[in-house]
Amino acid sequence: MKRICLLLIIAWIVQSFCPLPQQSLVTAQTLNLQVEDSDRFLQTASTPPRPHRDFARDIESLLSRMTLEEKVGQMTELEIGMITTGEGNDIRVDPAKLDKAVVKYGAGSILNVKDHALTVDKWREIIRDIQQASQKTRLKIPVIYGIDTIHGANYIQGSTLFPQEIGMAATWNPALMQRAAEIAAAETRCSRYSLDIFPGARPWPAAALAAVL
């Protein structure tokens, strides 16, 4: 009797669990049909539109008129703390520091390294002050303001944040990653930044963000 019960239990276990490998194989095959190769997707993704005009001649003309000091200044990037005072929402541009950095020394780029998210209006105020200072220089070259957009516009209050890169890659969905990058790009651009240094979840959003910006 015990032997019969043992055989019945073994038969039930085999019947219950043997189909699982076949079921898992079918599921995996189905998923593979839905996954698009990321490299192929990157090649066919949207590309940046061509500019309405060719600026190469204007750039060459500008470079020919620049002094050595101005060229060095354009290659210099300062962090935002060198032109501001205060912390968090109380941060503000210091006019004296800004004039020294941009007008006197001609710094061509400012990098955001603060760990606080600000409102869109506050960012526009900061960028406006920086660009107004750039117009006081001899050649009036706009200052590049660089910021990180890591899995979303994380330095902007109220922005959309996405999972970390490893989590986004685990979706195996390049089109979804591109859409996330488009959202991050739109929310970054509304604050009038001129350079995004680290679009999150590479490589797909990197291409998409460059296309949108």
155-178 pLDDT, tens per residue?
Answer: 899 999 998 888 888 888 888 888
Tokens 């591109």 — which residue? 178
Q: What is the pTM of this model?
A: 0.69
**Is the pLDDT confidence value at 112 over 60?**
yes
77 and 146 Cβ atoms separated by less than 8 Å: yes
Structure tokens at 161: 């944040």
Give ∠ CA 80-86-92 in degrees, rounded to 5: 65
Q: What is the pLDDT of residue 190?
A: 84
Instruction: Please give the sequence-ordered ranges of beta strands (E in DSSP) within the chain, or none if there are none.
Output: 77-79, 84-85, 92-93, 109-111, 144-147, 195-196
59-75 pLDDT, tens per residue?
Answer: 899 999 999 999 999 99
Q: Which residues are paired to 145 by β-bridges?
A: 110
Rounded to a whole number of angstroms, the CA Rg of the chain reads 27
d(CA 127, CA 11): 73
d(CA 89, CA 92): 8
Q: What are phi and psi of 71, to 5 degrees?
A: -65, -40
84-85 and 92-93: which strand pairing? antiparallel
